[in-house]
Structure 1
């Protein structure tokens, strides 16, 4: 399998690191600019709302002053109809603040009204603003209400007192919030084409001004901006409006009326310049990217070159000239220099260690017997040489209980004990192999009968030898024979294993010999009285 070279890994790593750093920087710039745009938009909307609220407050105070002046001009003139009519006309026409103006006596009857075509002179006003003016007898800006002619109206009035201080009536004007007036003109010039707009709500959360005239009189609930502004708070926040549009809203209260002015702009419109700005940043960064990657490529080659030379030479460590080639590698930094010295120092010990490691790789560290790899190695050799052999599979009876009763350390010593016993009865050419809690004894050029006798001798010997548990242990054994040729070694091992399991099933502490497939099995066990 082809492995990628370190130089390419380091190059990819450095490029990835540079790309990641650029990406993080670009994203950080994006987030910073985005938050800055939104913060600036929120603050601009707050300032704008505050400015309009202050302008509206100033306007209402100026209108109140005009009404107060008219009231002072009529303090002794309500008995003169021409004078009253002239003053009402002046009040309605001088600043275009009112859609209609009225002079009313103490009984609530209209003495004069403008425009004249209203036809209300001589009647008694029954509107909320009129009733409040008569009842409170003080300068008043009414809450918005629906008039008799179905207009949304704000009524601004001032009481008229005679020279002797007696209450004579009041004079005031109505502002129709849904029609053209000075307030509408002041707010209506600030509608933008990007979706930004402003609106005004009264204390009852009712729209009294909106760019969409159909929304005037609409009551809005659940809007945190409106909830804050009708409490008299000034500020800015991000909010989703009643139409589901994500907005940046600034808000401020009108002090004289308790109304709230809200100026808001869609988040989408606020962030629209962001894409172009980030694209411009990207364009300015691109000229530096190619030189940066070239420098990264050169540095990666410089760092990797000694390691690459060491790796190529070490690949052929068995060559006579490899040590000299390694010495000639220029290692200009600490890690590469240490690696070169370590390779040179290790070459001398390599062959010795390889021999030792090879032996260790096929040996079970607990018992010193061969492991599964050692078993396969020897079996491959015997099969190639067609050496027949017998196999004895041995297992300690109730070994799990030994571990549970005495602990794993004692269990390991028991396995070592079994391995020692099996060595004592084996020959120099035999193979002892541990597979978990089972031990195999492979006996080359040994008949099935001889193998059965050896297994039975081991069983009897073990049963009368005190084990590391402090008492005697018993073993069960299964024996099978491989005659060589085309017979399956795997099948022979399985038959030995099956014979072992049969010995377990038949009561343990016994040997079961698996005969050739056409013969019946022979079992031997403890003699009566033994």
Structure 2
């Protein structure tokens, strides 16, 4: 093979691609092994993904059944104790308080238990240290529960008194005669130790990144290993959207941190909540990498000797094409100087290099033209607002103090209405010529929009900027504009960092000063306060 290539190279310094590829037939073996590895990778990936999704669903379903039983017990406890309070009006407050304390301590279902009269007045609360006894409920959830007169479960909300994030379950209290007396509610403190954290905190798997969380019927987190997220609305999550519709299943999702996860989710019949068990996709990738490493370890030795010779040959033959690919990838991003195509031994590389050179030249011309058009105002030839903001950001980043002069042509609408828009354009061009002629070499003028212009004065304090602004104002006033005759301008000046430390604030200060100049009679230059 080497002799054939040497003989062909001697007859023609420009080898054809067909001749070149003839010497690389051995790469078919490597390509075949790569295809096998890829097929194994995809097959293993699909298997791991399906297995993880199925296991997550099984875990979510198991947890949802646990929670379903828990909430059935919680509702039963509330219902039983609400029945015992049918004669609450005849019971002493101390007796009621003891009953609530016993209910809270015996079941550990709730962090606090409250009796609210039908009027909204808190009659009793356990623990008494909450200090809400004798106060009226203010939350919309509590008022809704009172108004419904049915068993109720709230969405997460902050209490007005203790500023805790809570949910509560309530049961109506009816007298022996069936009169509605109020409600008995049990509260769960979501960001503190509660019945949910006691049951579910022991299953988070930190080393693999797998975890689970619980959402209410509206998509708010009621349990999460990161307590700072509890109460957050995650209804945009696809799995949570299925839970809101009381569906169960599994699917790939993306969590609030933008991490791709495999989720199994299951709805809880007792309260309309849902459990989501998630595992990071990255964990599967780690397992796949280990799987591929084992395969490569077994298959690499038989191909090592063969590949060594092939790689040496390929590197020699593909060097110009690698270079051209690199040049193409950098087109439009940086200035490129291409190598001389005459030194290539391949006819195809020679032709491709010349073609890329021509394409590169055309792209550079178009890029320069587009860059100029994007940063320049067509009518006046000044740089536009985009260029202004870019320059201001650069100056602010480098800590350069500077002043901004915002200039507006007085009564320009009257010029347009009287002489037409073509005449108005000529007036703007005239103003630009006068302004530019009045500036110092280091000053820059931009068209801000319409008849408004902005001038940047580098390393210029407000007093100096006022002097420059007045020079511009007098020059415009004493010039003769086409069609319009005498023109005047109003100007507002702001200084960085004296008046503002950011782009928006600086331009707003200059605009306020301009407005003051306009409102106080026009043909004035005003420095921002």
Structure 1-normalised TM-score?
A: 0.50
* TM-score, normalisation: structure 2: 0.50
Pair member with larger Rg: 1
